[in-house]
Every structure is written in C-alpha cells, then in structure tokens.
Structure 1
Amino acid sequence: MNPDERTVLGRAFDLLGAFTAERPVLGLSELARRTGLPTPTVHRLCAQMCTRGALERTEDGRYRIGVRLWELGALAPRAHGLRQVALPFLEDLYEATHQNVQLVVLEGTEALYVERISGHHAVPLLSRAGGRLPLHASSGGLVLLAHAGPELLLAVLEGGLERFTENTITSEHRLRSTLADVRRTGTVTCRQHLDPRSVAVAAPVLAGGAVLAAVSVVVSTSDDPGPLLPALRAACRGISRGLTAAAR
C-alpha cells in the first residue's frame, strides 16, 4: 500500500509495530525505514504519540513504547480477566515445581505469552510475557493448535514449519500425529523443540467447553518433566473452574 493511502490510525499502528523485544528503542531514520513512511511524517506522529503517552523519547532523542500503552493493554479482557483468575494457580504451580510457569493464549497463528513466573535458577527461556512463539514449536502453542479448527492448522502449514532445533516438528505428518496425541492425552511434552536446553510440558485451560488458554512448565533437559504433570493438570483445572465461576 502506498504510504499516502494509509489512515492516520494505520500509520500510528505501523509505528508501534516497528518496535520489537530485540529493538525496543528506535530512532527516526530506523522508524522511517521499518514503516516505509517519510521521515517528516514519522517525526510528526512520534511527537503526537509522545504527547499522549503512547511513546516516550529517550535522552538521546530516540523513541520507545510509553507506559500509557501498557495501561490500555492491561484492560484487554481476554488477557486481563484470564490473567487475574489464573495468577493464583500459576503461583501455586510455581511453588510446587520451582520451574518456569507460563500462561499462553492464541493470537492469530502464534502463541502469545500473557504471563510468566520464573525462578533465579530456572532454565533461560526464549519467550517472555507479551512475547510470541510459533504454534508448531512451543508446548503451549501445540495445545492451542490441537483444539483449534482445521482452518488454523491449514494456515500454520501454509506458513511453513520453521526449524529451530533438530527436534522441531517440521513435517505435516508429525504435526498432525502430535496434535492427535494432545487431544487424546490432554498434555504435550516438547523435548528440545524450540531450545536445545529445555523441555516443556503443557495442558489446556477450558472455559465454556472450549480451550481458552494453555499453561506450560519449562525445565532443563536434565530434569524429568513427568512428575510435574499432576500439578500442571491441577492448575489448569483450577483456572478452568475459576473462569467458569467468573462467567456466571
């Protein structure tokens, strides 16, 4: 699309979308390059967004996401309501395991991590709260994909199954088989699918008979994730009951 044909709102979202976890602070020229917008337009929009708290200007004249966006994002009912109900159970799961505990929802063709609790000695993770991972390569993503419709699976397959490690699922046959196992057993174990240092287990959270989210626990490859499954299932049942009660 020609930059001149974008709405002001569209240009503003293009600017916000230019920021990433890897590049959280950007200058005018880089914002212009990433968005395809003229530099004067970027300068004008950034000034307006700083005035409203959507962006903040750093001491060296570059820009970063403003706190006002975090305030607005915290109001999103799918993340906020779910997180509010889930957090006590996630904390209990962390206390029972002392491992990485994550709450995951579906966002498009990716897994969005809305909460994470980690200890000082837990294995490092590639994901972060507010970050995204591919559905086919993450434990929570596989749980969500297993309980989604065939249209999403087709979209994931058409997008390509990117390889992250030697154990990443990269074939349609293996993916379909894994998803069938998830539906049959109610859990999934991903050994070194995304990171050669870790093993992840995940289970679904249900609300109104549908899978609304997934909870995952990530441990080191030297740990056996099997003993974590009862606590993981209990946490998911607790969150599901809480969501059902909150909906009444």
Structure 2
Amino acid sequence: MTVIAKVAVILDAFTAEDRGVGFAELQRRTGLAKATLHRLTGELVAARLLERVDGRFHLSGHLFALGMRASVERGLIEVATPFLEDLYERTHETVHLGLREGAEVVYVAKIGGHRQARAPSRLGGRMPLHATAIGKALLAFAPAALRAEVLDAPLARLAPRTVTSAAILRRQLDEAVRTGVAFEAEESAVGIVCVGAPVLDGHDVAVAAVSVAGPATRFDPRRHAAAVKAAAAGVTATLARREALLDQSSV
C-alpha cells in the first residue's frame, strides 16, 4: 500500500464508539507492521490528525474541523438543522440525519433530549441500510443497481427482529416508495422503533434521510410518520431552492 492508503487504513480503524484505542488494538485492526504503525501514528499526531492521551489514540478535533469543511455535508447540515430541531420539539425523541455510503447509513446529525432512547446510532457511526428506518428510506430511493446489490447479498442480523429475508425487505422498500416513509420495529436493537423519510434530489434519488427513533414502550412511529415526512420534504425543498439560486448566480 502507498503511505496515503496506510494512513486511510489507520483513520478508518476508529469507530464512533471508541473512547481511545491502544497501540496493540490499533495494530490488530489495521494489520500494519509495528514499526510502520509506530512511525505513521507519530506523524499523524504531529500533523494534528490524531491525539495521544494516556497512551491511547483518538481522532483529533482538527480532523473533525476538516471534516466539517466538506461542502456537501456542511451545506446539508446547515439546511437540515432547523427542520431537525422542529421535529425534535414535535416528538421529544431522538432525531437523526443520515447519508448513504455504500450499503451503510452514516449518521451526520443527531438530536436527543435527557430521556433519549439507548439507540445504537452514534454521530459519525454507521449501520447497515436494511436494519434501520433511515437506512431503508435511503435504500428505497437509491439507484436501482444499489438496491439490487443489497437485496442479492446476505442481510446481516443485528437483533432478533432484523429483516434478513430479501423478499420481505423488497416489499418494505416498495411500500416506502409508495408512502414516502420507512419503518423499523426493533431491527437494529431490541426495544427501539423508528420511522424515516428520504431527502430527495431532482431525480427522486435520496441524498439523505431523516428519522425519529424511540423506545417501543412509549413511541409509536406511525403516529409521527407525517411529521418525519414533512421535515424531509422541507429539507428537500430548501436544498432545491439553494441549488436553483446557485445556478442563477453562475449564469
């Protein structure tokens, strides 16, 4: 591998759940030679891309700042935040904004109050598309080739009620296309239910999705489906207006 590829392997080895990773664990995750990993982690610390605290490595605040400069994600979060806040005020449950990366959803925003459910989602974390409402919303409105790829591959089980049947998932996706919302019933974790809706581009392809998750004991996702769908539609319309203004200014 090139040096850049090795650096990418190191940075990708960190997960959203990590609270610091020791050298031995980082070596296990990356598979890099000890001397190579020692040299590169030292250079990454010097470049402020990693931090080392009490012998454990962390992704740095500087790396976070660089990530926030990514134009697509920054613009999306700026547009979506007011709608996410309104949705939280309506539901007082955990609100998410997610993007699709391959066959996974990446959580780029999360709002939850003091009583938020212990959902498996983490800011910057990933989940399989088929196991979450937000992921199903992204998959239902994804390009046909990706949808077929996910349906043809084994569907990993995250919880006892995770949908692992391609036929059942296909029906759920078809229903999501028809209604504009997708649901999860304790499929990513026991006790968590969720409803999600896509943020669409001009070709009706999902560029992001919005969801609300809560505990099955008190949260009925179908009661809040209209609010989630309206929030996603608001983000869609605002992004479209912004894009139109940018197109006009470039003429």
Shorter chain as denominator, the TM-score bin is over 0.9
- 1:150 to partner: Cα distance: 2.8
Q: Distance in 2 between matches of 1:185 and 1:65?
A: 40
Are residues 22 and 229 of structure 1, via their aligned partners in 2, closer, same or farther at CA, if it must alter by over 3 Å? Answer: closer
Q: Structure 1: which 5+ runs fail to align?
A: 1-5
Which of 162, 179, 183 is residue 185 of structure 1 equivalent to? 179
Secondary structure class of the residue paired with 2:51: strand
Q: Deviation string for 1:118-160 (max 9, x for gaps)?
A: 0111221100111111111100111111111232123323441
Which of 131, 141, 153 is residue 135 of structure 2 equivalent to? 141
In the superposition, the TM-score normalised over structure 1's length comes to 0.92
For 2:57, the aligned partner's letter is Y
- After superposition, residues 64-79 of structure 1 pair within 5 angstroms as 64-79=58-73
Report if the CA contact (8 A) 2:15-2:125 is conserved: no
For 1:187, the aligned partner's letter is V
Q: Deviation string for 1:52-91 (max 9, x for gaps)?
A: 1101111x22211111110111011221111110001100
Please tell me whether residue 241 in structure 1 is matched to residue 237 in structure 2.
Answer: yes
Q: Distance in 2 between matches of 1:36 and 1:219?
A: 38
Report if the CA contact (8 A) 2:88-2:95 is conserved: yes
Question: Greater CA deviation, 64-73 or 201-210?
Answer: 201-210
Q: Distance in 2 between matches of 1:32 and 1:193?
A: 32
Counterpart in the other structure of 1:151: 145
Counterpart in the other structure of 2:249: none
Counterpart in the other structure of 1:129: 123
For 1:246, the aligned partner's letter is R
Count of residue correspondences: 242
- 1:43 to partner: Cα distance: 1.3
Q: Distance in 1 between matches of 2:32 and 2:117?
A: 41
Counterpart in the other structure of 1:97: 91
Please tell me whether residue 34 in structure 1 is matched to residue 29 in structure 2.
Answer: yes
Q: Structure 2: which 5+ runs fail to align?
A: 245-251
For 1:208, the aligned partner's letter is G
- The percent identity for this pair of structures is 42
Secondary structure class of the residue paired with 2:171: helix
- 1:24 to partner: Cα distance: 4.0
